[in-house]
Amino acid sequence: MNNFKIFLKNLGLIVLFFTLIFLLDSRFKLGVMTSQGFDIYLALIMFLMLLIGFPSLRKDFFNHFVPAKTYSLSYIYISICISAVLAMVMNVIRYVPFWISGEDLIGVGSKQITSFEDFSIVGRYILTVIVGPFNEEFLFRYLSYGGLFLLIKQLPDHPWLRWIHNISDHLFVKKTKEYVIFWVLLTSTWFSLVHGPNLLNFFFYFLSGVVYGVLFLKYGLLASWTAHGSFNLFSNFMGWLLRLISR
């Protein structure tokens, strides 16, 4: 009976969230029903359903969201400053071919959203600074680390699976340096490939992924999410500024 009540409560929260999203979309043109925005908001809803439906995952998520009991706002300031420098350097590099020879600047990945015709200004920045970065940090950082650890702990201690438990012990418990570095590089590569990069811009996404991964491990998901969202915000500003300078 208690499980059924919990199920109904969670279902009610999901319905309420759906309703709120669509009401806000009709008022502020968030782009929920556009081809660009629908998948992103759907992913957000699915991630929230995971957290609502699995208490152990939810508890672990909040432990990784702000991991330290002595958490300081300075971690957020550090994340914002790092993302500002990263956005400035990367956007300047993108314009180097144009400044040197008049060629096209280095483009973005083919899977990255660049058209926001059906979005309001508010909708665009909610998507690119808040929702999109949260989805990506939840998937590429939290689920690939905390979520993966929880999953591996559910595996039986079978001789054929000992190697998986051994890797898990080195990565998640002992935090062996080589294993942690490999995790950062692997998830950063995955993060890059999802954006549809080419040889010229792969490094931009990869380096960003490394920065977010390190911030996640050191300061938690809130820090990496803040850095990711801030980077997107500063990139918009730098893009506008560099276009103005390059006229």
pLDDT tens per residue, range 157-209: 888 999 999 999 999 999 999 999 999 999 999 999 999 999 999 999 999 99
Mean pLDDT of 107-119: 89
**pLDDT given at position 82:** 98
* CA–CA gap between residue 32 and residue 41 (Å, rounded): 6
**pLDDT given at position 70:** 65
* 8 pLDDT more than 70: yes
Q: Compute the mean pLDDT over every residue in the chain, rounded to the nearest whole number.
A: 91
* 5 pLDDT more than 80: no
**pLDDT given at position 187:** 98
* CA–CA gap between residue 48 and residue 54 (Å, rounded): 10
Q: What percent of the chain has pLDDT over 70?
A: 97
Record the pTM. 0.92
Domain segments of the chain as ranges:
63-245
